[in-house]
A = this chain, B = another copy of it.
Amino acid sequence: MRAMLTPATLAATAALLGDPARAAMLQALFGGESLTAGELARIAGIGAPAASAHLAKLTDGGLVAVHRQGRHRYHRLASEEVAAALETLGGLTMAVAPARRPWPHGEEFRTARLCWDHLAGRLGVALHQGLTGRGWLAPAEGGWAVTTTGEAGLGALGVDLAAARRARRFACDCMDWSERRAHLAGGLGRAIAARCLDRHWLHRLPPARSGDPLGRRRLGLTPEGARVLDGALGVRIGA
């Protein structure tokens, strides 16, 4: 039983993304971290009351989820779909915007980065290719399912499949705007990214400059990470 997709409801969702302050907040949350209302207010360059109003709209609209902890309220993106929409809208914006200033992140940004909680860029796309090409994932209702081969392979890498299965979506596609190809999202995408960061196969790179809207989303691959991912899945993004 799904709802009707009318122009009005689509416009309502798009309008939530169409305010500069809200867009700044969402872009900050797109880095994968949970942030307090105060931090988001500072990032968006507005006062606390305005930020509170924006965050109320975003949570009402189902784009942001809140988590109370003491006197702080931590905000994060609510779902895969929100991350996917931000990623795709970013691609549209880049395609549409005339080339004004040079793109300051260049190759490093396209090589590997976080898309909310999963891996993107050339690395994310190569990972998707490796997982499906080696038969670790098979088509399933609503995305992908892991095969017995995949279960063994991912287990050997130490990926927490149990945690991945607890997510609303186990594995589905997400558009990578810099590569124009799909990368892996869902619980499995998150579990793989978590494992890579946990084992220091990947590490977060510092922002290119202060106030960087892309935050700490850029990732660097360590020599060990390159070895492990190439050995297990044929993922090669160096050259």
Which residue numbers of A lie inside 8 Å of B, CB to CB? Answer: 1-20, 22-24, 27, 44, 61-63, 78-79, 81-82, 84-104, 125, 129, 139, 142-144, 169, 172-176, 179-182, 213-214
Contacts and interface: CB of A to CB of B under 8 A. Distances in A.
Contacts of A139: 125, 129, 181
Nearest to A98: B3
A172 B88 CA distance: 13
A225 B103 CA distance: 45
Nearest to A129: B139
Contact of A89 (B14, B91, B173): B14
A82 B88 contact: no
A84, A93, A129, A173 — most chain B CB neighbours (10 Å): A93
A1 to B, nearest CB: 5
A149 to B, nearest CB: 16
Given A13-B96, A88-B175, A143-B179, 11 more contacts: A8-B23, A10-B23, A10-B89, A13-B93, A14-B14, A14-B89, A84-B91, A89-B89, A173-B181, A181-B182, A182-B182
